[in-house]
Structure 1
């Protein structure tokens, strides 16, 4: 189960990294000054940093098989999940505005929130795989399913 968690975590991270790159490329950091982006940079980068550190801890756990590392990785995933839900809640209205703004003429591209460009399938897959990862890590830390 630890390898399954590792695989889902890596795939989830790839989707997250894709969205982070798109957000930066579309001006998400610059939009912090104007308020166009609804995703605060500290939340975005905090989510990314905690998830990356947790993944490193999980890789070390897979190699070393120390229960404390599994629980540490799980503990790191909890705030990652919380920050992810915060970003999802802030992204949903931006996504809904996409259809409304398509019907009316939108101003310059710079006023469009960077996160509006996230593909829905990537957002959904990232969230679903994140939940699966969290559950697999918890089950592994509990010793269910072997390590």
Structure 2
């Protein structure tokens, strides 16, 4: 699972999603072990994908409304990401009991700190770039 990052996904978002699922994130929805509701996880992922698609359409069509739509979606993606980060941090910081097995630990406990940090930091770049493009900064 460590090599889940794909080209074009420098922050490892798909890799984080794949790791969360592989470590039982979906199964843990029933037991409440995970602090990540599936709707939050998949909402973050799907909105990010939608924002990217709308941004690509903007680049092809050069319609200002599409740039602002993409920006709005990316703001929502960032808010969902901050929510996920806020739910992940206490799980990451909590001590692991010696008797806790892999299946009892929340799935998000297995997300690599470096990938989570890089995903958040690199996720800010498109938000800023889309905003600048929507404002017409550096445009022709």
TM above 0.5: yes
Residue aligning to 1:4: none
- CA deviations 1:54-81 (Å, max 9, x no partner) are 1011111112211111111001111111
Aligned residues: 133
CA-CA distance at 1:51 after TM superposition: 0.6
Residue aligning to 2:70: 73
Task: Pick the structure with more helix per residue.
Answer: 1
Residue aligning to 2:123: 130
Q: Distance in 1 between matches of 2:105 and 2:9?
A: 28
User: What is the root-mean-square deviation in Å for CA atoms of aligned residues?
Assistant: 1.4
* Correspondence list, 1:82-121, <5 A: 82-97=79-94, 100-101=95-96, 104-121=97-114
Which has the bigger relative contact order, CA under 8 A and spacing at least 6? 1
Mapped pair 1:146 → 2:139: yes
CA-CA distance at 1:108 after TM superposition: 2.4
Q: Which of structure 1's runs of 4+ aligned residues deviate more than 6 A?
A: none
CA-CA distance at 1:106 after TM superposition: 3.2
TM-score normalised by length of structure 1: 0.85
CA-CA distance at 1:129 after TM superposition: 1.0
Mapped pair 1:47 → 2:41: no
Q: Distance in 2 between matches of 1:116 and 1:108?
A: 12
- Structure 1 gap ranges (5+): 1-9
